[in-house]
Structure 1
Amino acid sequence: MNTLLKKCLAATLMVGGVVSQAAFTQASAAAPNDGLKGKNVVLVHGAFADGSGWNKVIPLLEAKGLHVVAVQNSLKSLDDDAAATQRVIEQQNGPVVLVGHSWGGAVISQAGNNDKVKALVYVAAFAPDNGQSINDLFKGKPAPAWMAALQKDSAGYLTLSTDAIMKDFAQDLPPAEARVVAATQGPWFAGCADDKVATAAWHSKPSWYVMAQKDRMIPPPLQAAMAQQIGATVVKVNTSHVAMMSQPTEVAAAIITAARAAK
């Protein structure tokens, strides 16, 4: 076999190997439902929000065959929101991946002790320990700028100004979308920040943490400290506080990973 023919044969074999590897990778990516059949995702929104904040994530999860429900919290107290979440968990057939954003992290820490819950996913969320509140997590730390922009009504419920939503809550969303977030925000009762988690579910459940690197609501160093404390698998995203709205694909991928691992 002459030298030129040998080189051509080697090149053909090499190209064939690359194509085979690419085909294998594509085949793996094209198996969307492996390990997801019969699993449920329960999404818990945070303060100054409602269940519609998950609108971009829900279709991505459902496309993988997951059954998805978004809780509508009263934002009245930790006990009330944990009870609302528990009711949704109880309605699910099969294992549950419980996902919480922001204040929803405290809620899933409380509600996640249900036996159906097999994994927890914190998305730019608080992760209090036993007997710990959100205010406890901020003790000894500088107050974030958004706290000065809180508006309290006569019943003690808090809202954020449109300016604070656009500058600190959802600064990486298009302005028109951020204004919708401001207009539809759910008022949060001020006493929630002092409500303490009784038994934090992350002590006994595998956890994931989606860390928002440009978050101005929960400082990234605090997120990193909480993620380390709970022993979470960390996924970093270059987003504002509303990671599920600004980078829904990355947030959905983290939830799908947790769902695949849930036993």
Structure 2
Amino acid sequence: MNTVSRAASVVALSLSIFSSAGAMAQDAPHNPTTVKNIVLVHGAWVDGSGWKPVYDILTRDGFHVSVVQEPLTSLEDDVAATKRVLDLQPGPTILVGHSYGGSVITEAGVHSNVVGLVYVAAHAPNVGEDEAALGKGKPSYTSKQTGAVEKTDDGYTYLNPAVFPKDFAADLPLKQARFESRSQMLTAAKVFSAPLTAAAWTTKPSWGIVAADDKIISPDLERWYYARAHSHTTVIPGASHSVYESRPQQVAAVIEDAARHAIQ
């Protein structure tokens, strides 16, 4: 092969590799039917920082991700905080909620930007229902423990730090779980008994993740919620309530599946 032919071959190979890399970089998030905006909503006793492992994966994959920081002072306030972030989204959005955040996205999900919902070890009540009453029908391991959930004189709750690591975060490193037990966001008790005024899952597609070893919400209750909502359901064996932190790849995969298929 002469010098000119070799040079031509190298250029052709380089262009081929560049084209392939470009195609990979423009994969799912750049598909015309893929939703590019993701909003993540945390649950009770924690804040939005726990979403960082999932955030890192989604942003790496080209999605535009926002994290809501709810005040946890009332369901109304938390829904308002979520809708405030939804107002900032530049188009169709997948709304994701963990734990009590599932109640928040159920109500806030009627927002016009929301085209799909993802429940991560989360509650999903219907209109007029509240998660406290539903939880009594399928009680969790934690709810059966005396003194597991503590309450302040002014009506705010927190999970006893002594039980937090094994109940909330059994599959996280113990050092991390202990830190989270001491950095809790105290949560108004009334958020758990506030009846919902809207249920977005009745009109929009949903995806649900069951944390199979969840002690905060009964996995059976999670399954029941998702079956009722006809959610695309994924069960993650061995996962604790902190599944969004301990199994970020699997959680992100479900969110990305929702982003690809919410608009058909």
TM-score range, shorter chain: 0.7 to 0.9
Which residue is 1:255 aligned to? 255
How far off its partner does 1:142 sit? Answer: 4.0
Rounded to whole Å, the distance in 2 between the matches of 1:78 and 1:132 is: 13
Equivalent pair of 2:35/2:262 in contact (CA under 8 Å): no
Of 89, 92, 95, which aligns to 1:92?
89
Which residue is 2:221 aligned to? 222
Rounded to whole Å, the distance in 2 between the matches of 1:53 and 1:74 is: 15
Rounded to whole Å, the distance in 2 between the matches of 1:65 and 1:94 is: 15
Which residue is 1:179 aligned to? 178
Rounded to whole Å, the distance in 2 between the matches of 1:159 and 1:73 is: 15
Which residue is 1:63 aligned to? 60
CA displacement, residues 145-165 of structure 1 (integer Å, 9 cap, x when unaligned): 356311111211011122221
Which residue is 1:18 aligned to? none
**Structure 1 93/28 Cα, relative in aligned 2: closer, same or farther at 3 Å?**
closer
Which residue is 1:157 aligned to? 156
Which residue is 1:35 aligned to? 31
Rounded to whole Å, the distance in 2 between the matches of 1:140 and 1:117 is: 30
- Structure 1 counterpart of 2:243, which letter? A
**Structure 1 124/29 Cα, relative in aligned 2: closer, same or farther at 3 Å?**
farther
How far off its partner does 1:30 sit? Answer: 8.6
Rounded to whole Å, the distance in 2 between the matches of 1:126 and 1:262 is: 20
- Structure 1 counterpart of 2:182, which letter? A
Equivalent pair of 1:158/1:190 in contact (CA under 8 Å): yes
**Unpaired stretches in structure 2, ≥5 consecutive residues:** 1-19
Indicate the SS of the match to 1:56: helix
How far off its partner does 1:35 sit? Answer: 2.6
Coordinate RMSD, CA, aligned: 1.9
Which residue is 1:167 aligned to? 166
Rounded to whole Å, the distance in 1 between the matches of 2:130 and 2:260 is: 31
- Structure 2 counterpart of 1:122, which letter? Y
Which residue is 1:129 aligned to? 126
**Unpaired stretches in structure 1, ≥5 consecutive residues:** 1-23
- What TM-score, normalized to structure 1? 0.86
**Structure 1 244/140 Cα, relative in aligned 2: closer, same or farther at 3 Å?**
closer
Identical pairs, percent? 42
Which residue is 1:101 aligned to? 98
